[in-house]
Amino acid sequence: MRRILRLVGWSALGLLVLLLSVTGALTLLRWDRTARVVGFGEAAGAPAAASPEFARTAALLTVTSLLPGNRLEVLSNGRETFPPLWRDLRAARRSITTQLYFINPGAVLDSLVLLLRERAAAGVEVRFLYDAVGSRVPDSTLTGLRAAGVRVARFRPVRWYTLQKAQNRSHARTVVIDGALGFTGGFGIDDRWLGDGRSPHEWRETNVRFTGPAVAQLQAAFAAAWAEATGQLLAGRLHFPPDPSAGIGPPPPDPIEPALAGVLHSVAGPGNTGAQRLFALTAAGARQRLFLTNAYFVPDRDIVEMLSAAARRDVDVRLLLPGPLTDVPLTRAAARAHYEPLLRAGVRIWEYTPAMMHAKTFVVDRCWIGIGTMNLDPRSFVHNDEVVLLAWDREAGAMLDSMFLDDLHFAREITLPTFARRPWRQRLGEAFAIRFKRFL
């Protein structure tokens, strides 16, 4: 009898381990579809991006308030990003909150740490949140920050009892100063983001500096992550001032008119995410042109079909993707596995040649834009926390449209006849890479 009970016990334990293993594998590989946008009275199933109805629909479906009164300054590369960032941090009087994903030791980290320590010593409340997987911050640096009064926290450290969310990283980049001035984009705290993005060791990036109601939304994204990491939920006037325009730093050198804008905070969870719904609606809303720059382009068949469908209805669809200087060759190979069907549908593809293209932006019909951290890959769509500044504004759209076209002068267009003749070794690499697309 004892042997039977022991056998039953071990069998139950084995079954439990099997179920947990299957559940974990399914979580890692999960993908919830948002295949197409369905509407009535609209040829493409969605309002045209240039129509006010589109902005209302985007706000509802992505759960992002698009509010008037925001001023945006689009920043190209580290040369345009770090000088105003350092200036604005130095001018902080009440609070600084920073959440970062990619951090490595170097001159950029040294500059950031020096400013955070100085501001904390001056009585500014400074919070520094970094991702436990994406960041490499020396212990001595963290000790120095804490000694200066900076509140430091690590986001989702990997433990045996937290393995169920180890793959769910915070890919967000948020900097909020005095609750009134925000920065986001694809930048990291690493020396590769210095320069102008035209040299091999200087990554091409697009970021945005902004004021207005959208800053509180960026702060709310930080507050949610900080609450998870520390158990402390930030509230009150220090972080969410009633008059966020009071006491902010100098305006952009060439400020554009106030824009209708908001911050999408897409988080991992069961079902499809805000990131997926955003892309589906954006592709369906394009009527004239859809320009998309993306660092890690690993589409599923739905994304390929949405882009192809836009091209087939005579939308000028252009993709600007990393070239041979990519930092993740496996991802580039997986992307190139989808080039042929896209090219056959009429989508035009360029690969950036001078450096790694790390920007994550889109501009549709010169009026609907996104600048942030979201890649078109499974990790961004269903596993990571991401932030994207969305704006429905013609002036901002024209600015990003012009930036995209300028980048094409430093990129090589991929044509179907040439690409179809690529060597068999490249085809083999693409076939291999595509098997791992759910992990990229």
Tell me the pLDDT tens digit for each residue of 145-195.
Answer: 999 999 999 998 888 877 777 777 778 999 999 999 999 999 999 999 999
Architecture of domain 40-439: 2-Layer Sandwich (3.30)
What confidence score (pLDDT) does residue 271 get?
Answer: 65
The answer to whether the CB of 349 falls within 8 A of the CB of 336 is no
Beta strand 361-364 with 67-76 is: unpaired
Distance separating alpha carbons of residues 376 and 370, to the nearest angstrom: 13
- The structure tokens 């920043």 sit at 75
| Element of type H or E holding 177 | strand 174-177
The reported pTM is 0.88
Domains of the chain, by residue range, sit at 40-439
3-class secondary structure per residue, 335-367:
HHCCHHHHHHHCCEEEEECCCCECCCEEEECCC
Closest C-alpha among 333, 66, 391, 393 to residue 213: 66
Averaged pLDDT score across all residues of the chain: 88
Compute the chain's Rg from CA coordinates. Answer: 23
Closest C-alpha among 371, 163, 185 to residue 278: 371
What confidence score (pLDDT) does residue 407 get?
Answer: 98
Classify residue 283 by burial, with Cβ atoms within 10 Å: 0-12, 13-18, 19+.
buried
What confidence score (pLDDT) does residue 430 get?
Answer: 83
Q: Is 302 a residue whose pLDDT tops 70?
A: yes
Instruction: Put residue 41 in one of left, alpha, beta given phi > 0 → left and psi -120 to 50 → alpha.
Output: left
Tell me the pLDDT tens digit for each residue of 261-301.
Answer: 999 998 876 668 888 999 999 999 999 999 999 999 999 99
Q: Is 5 a residue whose pLDDT tops 70?
A: no
What confidence score (pLDDT) does residue 378 get?
Answer: 86
Q: What proportion of the chain, given as a percentage, has pLDDT over 70?
A: 85
What confidence score (pLDDT) does residue 244 get?
Answer: 67
